[in-house]
Structure formats: structure tokens, C-alpha cells
Amino acid sequence: MAKLSVLLDQIDSGTLLLPEFQRGYVWNRDQVRGLMRSLYQGFPVGGLLLWETDVDPGSVRGETSGGVRLLLLDGQQRITSLYGVIRGRPPVFFEGDAGAFTGLHFNVEREVFEFYAPMRMRDDPTWIDVTRLFTEGIAPLVPRLNVEPEKLGLYLERLSKLTGILNRNFHEEKITGRDMTVDVVVEIFNRVNSGGTELSKGDLALAKLCAQWPEARQAMRAELRRWKKAGFSFSLEWLLRNATAVATGRAPFAALDGVSAETFQKALRSSVDYIDRFLNAVAGRLGLDHDRVLMGRYAFPVVSRFLHLNGGTFRDAAERDLVLFWYVHAALRGRYTGSTETMLAHDYEVLERDGVEGLLSSLERWRGSALDVQPHDFEGATTGSRFYPLLYMLTRVNGSRDLGTGLELRAELLGRLASLQLHHIFPKAVLYRHGYERSQVNAIANFCFLTQETNLAIGKRLPAEYLAEAEEKHPGVLASQWIPTDPALWSPDRYLDFLAARRELLAEAARSFLAELSSGAASATVTELRPVHVVADDPDDARTAQVKALVDELTRMGCVEPELDSGIADPVTGRELAVAEAFWPHGLQPGQGKPVVLELDPDVADLARLEELGYEVFTSVDALLGYVRRRNEAMAGTTAGEQAVDTSSASSNRGSADVSTRDAFERAMRAVYERARDEAGYNATYFLGMLAEYGGLATARKLLRTPTVSDGFAALWERGRLDLTVEALVIQPEFAELFDDEEIEVARRRLEQFGYPPSFDVKAG
């Protein structure tokens, strides 16, 4: 057994550390809050598993004191959280988001823990900063609590109980013995963490390397930061793949077992050089100059291996172009999206035996047809589609021109205008009004790239207006963007015909450029492309804003950043199963739980196959947000009593609302559902369930408290019926007394953001 105070002192003295193979801190605020509540209430919080060893310091993380060390195998998240809350800073071995344990407060009246919220806590003396309590003691807090002298004794007793958790004993299990190697301990670690973050083969390989070369992780992370600064985001495991390819010519990380630290260091330096060389080729020759359009990342280890066998460089520009031809097709067909290691192993062997020509032949056999691009390949939607980078590539390499200025979209020509932005040729709002689905509105064939100034100038004008104007001012500009020049196709009722015609033009352009790459005909005369800056789209539709707000909220709740607009392929066939609005490939928290998919266009995705493959699929933002909240509440141990207090507190200023007004609002909420169903064709079943469970008024308040607009709001925006939203109901003057100013402002702001400004003063009613 060990007291919490002793464990914290051991961290300070450098005798309690983390093994290098441990991943970083991943807990969220709800988990921290739940841990503190459990300790305060005296509930069990689990024991610790420690590895007692005098192992080489290179395999531990933190400042070591020398001699025997205790390496924390099970309990990292709990002990790190407690250290952060009690000491007011992260431990020396910390890697993660310190915001998860910063700002925790304790309410001495209600005996609940919450993170600092200025509006609620600033002027309420019953909220006590927990870190300040532990670092400064109880005495400095007495003046703050003495505003109610009759309760002072009770409050001090509760604070003393809270600080008493320092005397809490944690049960310790220790692994000892000279026979306990890193391999054995990692196996034990994986067994005890079977429900949490299990180490991957890459983690294990890197742990072994760190025992020989302590600076391995730091050296690799330094390169990842450098690429991040240049606009490309790569993972540690991806870089290790490249280094493994160079060092061993094999795909499994286990191949590194017999590799010395010196050999690995050399291979890492070489692989970094090869990656830089190929990134320059991909950006300079193909124009794929930023992270969003960098496709086929797991083709890079194959190129690293090729360059290693080739003396570190391409023989000439024609060979470079042939490798790029293979790379583009491997990426477009999802060569490494499924069984990555199997495919890499196969291609390393082919490369060693038959070179790039062998890779091309192998890719054709795997695909079952010649390497070609057809119009149907451009049928995808959103920037996550596999063929979106191809559209960007064609724009960059073929001299596409800006519709406003007529200039080619090249950095050296555009000067100060060199910021590009994605443009919908047919405006989204127009297409939604004409009844087109989201997947049609966001079709790749409806995209082109323009300078930011031109995009803003066009705004939501109809194609029949601005396309004719652009062609008149700059003859040939439409053809440079593969936009059909037949004016009959520029009206919304011919939109699907427009898409079909443009897909034909795009496919022909792709075939022409890729044939040029394959032949090497123009390779010697090509001018290297300079990077341009691509400006992110403003969320100008409710769905985009909803997903952005969801990601922000889930990140705040402790989930990792997802991949946005992410294509998900079948691991067996490489077929694209979905383009998810958000995708968490390793679970909502690193290594915990199934991969999570948010797919808001279920009709165009293969949901059955996704679920068969073990993905947890959500087709609703509301459902995913509710799932995470329920999960976090369960982790935090939130009681019904706490929730009831919060609810009553939030509604205390509305108790005087007239009963007839409440009844009228309940009827109006039901009418909103029925009108949305009958007039807009939207059956809000989730909303109907909320009405049945909570009633109209509580449902409205819940929807207003969420950080995102609801699925119903987004669906009604797409149908041009924001008048049928709960927000439109809330701002009606006759219901003003039911809501406070903040709630009404939320409703007003949401409506105004998406083109529904109220023309009256709500409170004036």
C-alpha cells in the first residue's frame, strides 16, 4: 500500500516514472471530475501496477534519480490527474492536454466538483479552487467562506475531508526480477490494459529501440514537427514505417528486432531525406502542396524503399514521373487502405525484383483492369472523396484560370491574390431550394478553385449569370476549369446533366495528364509549381457548422481530433465504403473502443459493411453527442441528484411564467413537428421522442444548451424552412417569458447565421 502523498513525492523525486512505451495522457475533464468525486466519497478507485527495475534510463520517460525506479504500468491516467490537480502542474513525464485537470472547483455547499465557469462561479464564494486548496491550504480560504458564519464550520469540515485524500492508500502490485525484460513487461501491460489503450506492434518496436537509443522518439517527433510546420501532418507510426522499409526492406515492425541502434539511426536519417525528396516531387510536379490533398500516404514507404535501392535519388525526371504515375493510381485505388502491412510486404518484394514497372503491373493485376480514369470516378462528393485531390492536382498542373481575373492559378502569377478557395459552381443554397440532396450539392463535379476575392465576388450568383460574364471577359476560361460551355446546362433544373458533362471533361483531362506522366514526354521541360495557400471554407451551411461545433465540443469533452471528410475503404477490395463527415480511426480516445464514424449521408454509404468491419457508425450528430455525454457521465459517476440541482438552478428565474403560456408552447412544439413532417417532408423522430420524454419546454431548453445546432435545424435549413425550427418558435414574443435572455440570444444568433433574421424585438412583445 502507498499513500497518495507518497506517490506524488516519488514523482517529484524522480523515482516514480513512466516506461517509454506508455502512450500519453488521454483522460478528459469528466473522468477527472469523476475520480475526484469518488475519492472524496471514499469509493474504490482501483490499484496500481508498478515495474520495479534498475533498467537503463533510456527506456523511461521523465527525470530519473538513478538506482531502482518504479515504472507505472497501470494507473497512469489516475495518478497523472491527481498530480495535476493537487500540484497545479503536469508531472515531468507528461504528454497530453493539461486542460483536462486545470481549473477544477469544489462546491462546499452542494459537495460537487465542476470545472471553472466564470458566469456561475465568479461571485459565488461556495466554489473553491481545488488546486489552490491543496497548494495554499485551508486558512487563506476562511475569509471567503465566512460570508455565512453559521455554515463556516460545516464548510471547513468538508474542505478538510477533501484534503484528506492525500492520506488515501492505493494498493500496489509490483513486477520485479532480472528476467522481466521490456518484451515481458509489455505483454503484461497489454493484458492488464485489455479494456484500455493496448500497445501496437509499432509501440513495442519503438520501446525496444529507445532502450538502446533514448533519443529515438524525440528525434522522430522533431521531424514530424518540421513537416507539420510545412503543412503536412504525419504520425510517429507512419515515420517508423518508412524507417523500417529503409532499414530492413520488410513491412512488419518485428523486422527491427535485430537492427542495432546505429543502423536504425542511419535508416531514419535516410528515410527523412527520401520523404523530403518525394514530398518536393509531389508538390512541385503534381501541385499537391498541403495536407488536405496529400493522398496515398502509405505509398511513401514504398517510395522510400525505392530511393534507398536507387542510391537515394531518381535517375532522371522521366523516372520521377513514372514513380509519380504509380503513386497517383495507387492512391486513387486505395492500395494501402486495408491490409497495409500485407500490401507493403508484397510491393517491397516486387520492387526489389522488378522495379517501378513491376509495381505498375502488380497494381493493374490487383485492380483487375488497366490504370485509367473514367467519368464515374468523379461521382464522389465532399473534399473527403478519394478523387478530390485529383481535381486539385489537375487545377494546378493544367494552368486552370481564375474566373474573375483570367490569370492562371499559379503563385508566381497571382501575387497577393494567391489564396485559393473551393468554389461551388452551383451555389449550395440554390441547389437545396431545388430539392437536391447533400451528396449531389457537394459533388466533386460541382467544385472548382478560384482566388478568394473572386469567390467572394461571385457569392451566391447563378451560373447562368456569372459564367457567361466570365467567358466574355476571359475567353477560354471555362474550358480551363473543365466547365461545360453549353448555357442550357447552367440552370438548376439541368444540374445533373451539368455534372455528367463535367465528369466527362475531368476524366479526359486526367487521362491526358497521367499519360504524360507515364511517358515522361514533358518531364524535362516542366516548371516546378510553387505552393499556393488554400483558404478554408467558412461554414456557410448548417450541416458544416453543425459538424464543426460537434468536433469542438467533443474535443473539449476529451475526445481526440477526428479526420474530417474522410474516405473509408474496404480493407479487402479497396472499395470506398463511405466519406465520413468525421472519423475516429482509433476510437474517440486513443486506443479505446471501436473506430467511430459519423456519416450524415447514409443512403450513399455501405453502413452494413462498415458495421461488419467493426466500426461504430452514427448517422446523426445528436445521437453521437448524446452517446459521448452519457459515456462521460457514466465515467464521472454523475448522480441524478446533481443533475436535478443543475436543472432547477438553470430554470429558477422562469418559475413565474403563466401556465397558459406554457401550455401554448407545448402545443406549438407539437405543431412544429407535424408541420415539418407535412410541409417539409422531414419526419423528426428524434425530436418527437424528446417531446415524449421531456415535454416541449424542457426539450427546447436542452436544444438551446447544446453547442451545435440540432439535426432537425440542419435538415430544415436544407429545405429552406427555418421557420419550422425550435429556434424560430423560441424568439416569438408570446413565449419570451419562458426563456432567459441568453437562451433567446442563442436562438436569434443561430437563425441569423443562416439567413433567417427576426424583424422584431422579442422582449418587446
List pLDDT tens digits, range 32-83.
988 999 999 998 888 888 888 775 545 666 655 556 778 888 888 899 999 9
Cα separation, 537 vs 442, in Å, equals: 13
396 SS3 class = helix
Element (H, E) at 392: helix 388-397
pLDDT per position as a tens digit, 213-259: 878 888 999 999 999 999 999 999 999 999 999 999 999 998 998 89
pLDDT tens track for 281-300: 999 999 999 998 999 999 99
Rounded to whole angstroms, how far apart are CA atoms 98 and 674?
47
Phi, psi for 172 (deg, rounded to 5): -115, 135
Instruction: Quote the crossing angle between the two packed helices 388-397 and 261-286, to the nearest 10°.
Output: 60
Contact between residue 737 and residue 657 where contact means Cβ atoms under 8 Å apart: yes
CA-to-CA separations, 54 to 59, 62, 177, 181, in angstroms, rounded: 11, 15, 10, 11
- Find where cell 459515456 sits: 631
Model confidence at 572: pLDDT above 90: no
Q: Integer distance in angstroms from the first to the last C-alpha of the chain?
A: 66
Q: What pLDDT score was predicted for residue 646?
A: 40
CA dist list (Å): 701 to 358, 631, 642, 704, 740: 63, 21, 18, 5, 10
Distance CA(288)–CA(231), nearest Å, equals: 11
pLDDT of residue 416: 61
Confidence of residue 187 (pLDDT cuts 50, 70, 90): low
Q: Which residue has the cell 456557410?
A: 540
Going by C-alpha positions, the residue among 268, 225, 260, 221 that lies closest to residue 61 is 221
Query: pTM higher than 0.75, yes or no?
Result: yes
Closest among 203, 231, 235 to 220, alpha carbons compared: 235
More confident residue, 560 or 746: 746
C-alpha cell at 416: 497577393
Q: Does residue 719 surpass a pLDDT of 80? A: yes
How do 596-598 and 60-61 pair as beta strands?
unpaired
Task: For residues 454 and 446, give the distance between their C-alpha atoms in angstroms, rounded to a whole number.
Answer: 16
- Cell match 491550504: residue? 137
Residue/partner pairs of 37-41 with CB below 8 Å, 24 or more apart: 37/112, 37/113, 37/636, 37/637, 38/637, 39/82, 39/165, 39/168, 40/106, 40/111, 40/113, 40/161, 40/162, 40/165
Mean pLDDT throughout 580-600?
Answer: 85
Up-side HSE of residue 694: CA atoms within 13 Å toward CB? 15
Residue 514 makes CB contacts below 8 A (sequence gap 6+) with 325, 328, 329, 371, 373
Question: Which residue is it, cell 484560370?
Answer: 401
Angle, CA 143 vertex, CA 139 and CA 144 arms, to 5°: 105
Does residue 651 carry a pLDDT above 70?
no
Residues 466 and 458: their CA atoms lie apart, in Å, by 7
- Mean pLDDT, all residues of the chain: 86
9 vs 369: CA distance, rounded Å: 65
- Do 414 and 546 touch, CB atoms closer than 8 A? no
Q: Which pLDDT score, from 0 to 100, does residue 447 have? A: 96
Task: Report residue 119 CA to chain centroid gap.
Answer: 29
Residues above pLDDT 90, as percent of the chain: 51
Q: What's the confidence (pLDDT) of residue 762?
A: 42
The model's confidence at residue 644, banded by pLDDT at 50, 70 and 90, is very low
Q: In sequence order, which residues have a C-beta less than 8 Å from that of residue 420 and are 6 or more positions away?
A: 409, 449, 450, 451, 452, 532, 533, 534, 535
550 pLDDT exceeds 50?
Answer: yes
**655, pLDDT greater than 50:** no
**Higher local confidence (pLDDT), 618 or 17:** 618
Mean pLDDT along residues 632-660: 50
- Going from N- to C-terminal start, the domains of the chain cover 2-182, 217-371, 376-534, 542-638, 651-764
Q: What percentage of residues in the chain have a pLDDT greater than 70?
A: 88
Q: What is the pLDDT of residues 488-519, one digit of tens each?
A: 999 999 999 999 999 999 999 999 999 999 99
Give the pLDDT confidence of 382-398 residue by residue, as tens digits.
888 889 999 999 999 99
Report phi then psi at 114, rounded to 5. -145, 155
Burial of 431 (0-12, 13-18, 19+ CB in 10 A): buried
Residues 6 or more apart whose Cβ sits within 8 Å of residue 75: 46, 47, 48, 49, 170
Looking at residues 340-360, what average pLDDT do you find? 95
**Max mean pLDDT range (94-98, 426-430, 518-522):** 426-430
pLDDT of residue 318 exceeding 60: yes
| β-sheet bridge partners, residue 616 | 596
**Backbone dihedral region for residue 105 (phi beyond 0: left; psi -120 to 50: alpha; all else: beta):** beta
Per the rule left: phi > 0, alpha: psi between -120 and 50, beta: everything else, 732 is beta
**Whole-number pLDDT of residue 616:** 92
> Does the pLDDT value for residue 340 go beyond 90?
no
Q: Which residues of 457-469 are buried (b: 16+ CB within 10 A; e: fewer)?
A: ebeeeebeebbee
The Cα–Cα gap between 264 and 125 comes to 58
The pLDDT of 101-105, averaged and rounded, is: 92
